[in-house]
Amino acid sequence: MIRKLLPVLLLLVGLGAGVGAGIFLKPAAEDHGETADAGHGAEAAHGAEAGHGDDTGHGETPSHYTPSSGPTETVRLPNQFVVPVIADGQVHAMVVIGLALEMSVGNTFSLVENEPRLRAVLLQLLFDHANIGGFDGIFTSGEALLALRRTLREAARAELGDEVQDVLITDLLRQES
């Protein structure tokens, strides 16, 4: 009888230990109430009313994605970007990234006219990102990808204007060599 109960008891003890560890290691919940705006005062309210986007003030960056408001259309860049990851003077990995632009409806973007300049700017930015270690470690974490997307969006806006709402990462692959 004990031989039959022992596996069940071990299963229950393991399950209880797993639940306990999960509860103990759970990250602290963020408070999205009025206390989140404490210390920002009228400047935060003015920034939100003026449409200044993701500005959270004091150098902070939002840790969640907030999609653009209003209708948009997506323009997929036809070729993927291939970025070498170099360490100690040798290529250690290749990163392949597919990108798409989320544009305002009725935009004047022409793939034939604007793609070469845009690709050059984005590729240089991706090379810089690789050179500072952006594709090392856990580069697919939410915060890392948001930071990369934010940088890509700013570069695309500098090249094409404010009709670029966002830059979407559609494919991401790292191949070790």
pLDDT for residue 17: 85
166, 153 in Cβ contact below 8 A? yes
User: What is the residue-level pLDDT of the chain in tens, covering all 177 positions?
Assistant: 778 888 888 888 888 888 888 887 777 665 544 444 444 444 444 444 444 444 444 444 555 556 666 788 889 999 999 999 998 889 999 999 999 999 888 888 888 898 999 999 999 999 999 999 999 988 989 899 999 999 999 999 999 888 889 999 999 999 998
CA distance 152 to 73: 18
pLDDT for residue 166: 92
